Amino acid sequence: MPSRLKIALLSAAISGVVLVAFGLTAWLLVSRQKLESVDTEIRSLAARHPGWIGSRGNYQRLDDALEFIFGEAHENQIILLVKDAGGTVLHTSSGWPKDLEPEKLDCSLENDPNAVTMGADAGAGMGRGRGGMGRGLGPGGGGAQVTFTKVPKFQTVNTSRCEWRLGMLGTADTTLVIGLDYAGPRKELNRIRNAFLIALPVALFLVGLGGWIIAGRALRPLKTIADTAERITARGLDQRIPDSGDSPEASRVVQVLNRMMDRLEASFRQATRFSADASHELKTPLTVMQGELENALQAAAPGSPEQQLFTNLLEETQRLGAITRSLLLLAQADAGQLMLARAPVDLSAELEGMIEDARVLAADSRLTFDVQCQPQLRVEADRALLHTALFNLVANAIKYNEPGGKIEIRLASDADKIVFTIGNTGSGIPSADQPKIFDRFYRAGRASSPRTDGIGLGLSLAREIIRAHGGELLLKESRPGWTLFAVTLPANLDTSRPA
């Protein structure tokens, strides 16, 4: 998962946890406040109208008083129940729900040590009532002295019609139950909850979007560094990371990396220049040595020890000359200065000539050739260098084969490319050596064979030459008994043109 997306999701997740915790806490506090508000109203109603208990023997006046206070729809707003000390129901208001059985209500109350006496005027101005707030109970409602000696108890019950908040207040011989419709507060709580649930995804989206934008700005220097690093090659060591100045930390990282690349470029240029200069300077003395040894070899008596010595020295000088030429070509390739004398080349015909030479070299090993070459495949290339690269592959297929083995060569066009593959039998390349076969002077397990000789530069040089022509050299397969290399070159010539 990209770091930018990860940061955005993490920001949204953390913010979501915080918002949910805050919303849940706020909702619980509001719910408690609503309950306490309704409970306070119940207490206020009981304190303002003590006649509800004092009107013994004529409870019908209670319903009249409720209609007077709350209007004709009082049955949907308030309900009353009066019980005596023995639990006998003395009165229920006309709106008492049928599915709320009075006998099943737990009206057991504890004594209140802080009980006070409430009269007709007690609690004047306290709390708030519903529809007709502050009005008296009507005839017979005032004047009675009532002492609520029990600790009030509140509970919420649901009926088929609505939700009620019940408050239970008691005296020594009577219990008063007042119920208020809780639908209004409940709807308000539900609206708050629904609004929060709707706002939460929007808030999380905005937080995630903000995290995405901030993460993008914060990671922009890293993207710039990565893009620049991808462009840095042996031919592009002059690339530097631009300093956007977004932050001091990023600027310091950019400056450190740029200074490091300055040092790397200087070191690489120095090493490349040394290889090129050394190879160039060695060419002349090696040529002179080779000429002198050839003259000495011709002057030596046939079969003499001197002739054998000069022969060995000449072979080593030629070997040293091949190393020098290869190093010079590699140094030029590293510096991006490998000069190609491009010209139209009939690759099919060139390959046929290589195979004829290869058959001669493979005669002693009794190797068989399986060749399938599409005719008249042409490329624009440096004939000598391309011949060197492809013949290195053919020579390796012979060198690292087994007696009586097989070499398979294919040349064909594929869309806008020309594909050359060469495979050979043999022990194969060990898996541990395969990632390193294009390293310079790396010969690994193959060098242990007395039948193989070389300098470990053939594959490196072949790959650099192929790359200079816009192609690629790859090891496609290597296992015991079979090794396959593939070369792709751009088919940038009309095949109808003569080479």
Domain end: 334, 353, 379, which one? 334
Q: Which residues face 155 on adjacent strands?
A: 166
Same domain, 184 and 37: yes
State residue 139's pLDDT score. 36
Residue 326, in any domain of the structure: yes
How many domains does the structure of the chain reveal? 3
Domain end: 334, 353, 382, which one? 334
Residue 466, in any domain of the structure: yes
190 in helix, strand or coil? Answer: helix
Residue 462 sits in a domain whose CATH number is 3.30.565.10
Domain end: 292, 307, 334, which one? 334
Provide DSSP, 362-429: TTTTT-EEEEEE-TT-EEEEEHHHHHHHHHHHHHHHHHT--TT-EEEEEEEEETTEEEEEEEE-SS--
Same domain, 62 and 23: yes
Rounded distance between C-alpha atoms, residue 207 and residue 8, angstroms: 8
**Cα–Cα distances in Å, from 132 out to 63, 420, 422?**
15, 102, 104
Question: Would you say 115 and 149 are in contact if contact means Cβ atoms under 8 Å apart?
Answer: yes
Same domain, 484 and 353: yes
Across the chain, which distance is largest between two alpha carbons, in Å?
Answer: 155
Same domain, 319 and 395: no
Same domain, 37 and 165: yes
The alpha carbon dihedral of 395, 400, 405, 409 has a sign of negative
Residue 204, in any domain of the structure: no
- Distance linking the first and last C-alpha atoms of the chain: 52
Same domain, 51 and 128: yes
Burial class (CB in 10 A: 0-12, 13-18, 19+), 253: middle
Residues spanned by the domain of 303: 248-334
Same domain, 176 and 280: no
Residue 288 sits in a domain whose CATH number is 1.10.287.130
Per the listing, tokens 């070389």 go with 454
Same domain, 177 and 81: yes
What pTM was estimated for this model as a whole? 0.48
Residue 183, in any domain of the structure: yes
Q: Which residues face 166 on adjacent strands?
A: 155, 179
pLDDT, mean of each 10-residue run, the chain (499 residues): 79 89 91 90 76 58 66 71 83 82 81 59 38 35 58 87 87 84 87 89 88 80 77 70 73 83 78 68 78 84 84 82 75 71 89 90 90 90 89 91 92 89 91 85 56 70 89 91 92 49
Q: Is 108 left (phi over 0), alpha (psi -120 to 50) or beta?
A: beta
Residue 496, in any domain of the structure: no
Residue 495, in any domain of the structure: no
Same domain, 40 and 170: yes
Same domain, 330 and 349: no
Same domain, 401 and 454: yes
Residue 150: DSSP 8-state: B
Question: Would you say 311 and 290 are in contact if contact means Cβ atoms under 8 Å apart?
Answer: no
Residue 253, in any domain of the structure: yes
Rounded distance between C-alpha atoms, residue 438 and residue 449, angstroms: 19
Same domain, 70 and 106: yes
Residue 92, in any domain of the structure: yes
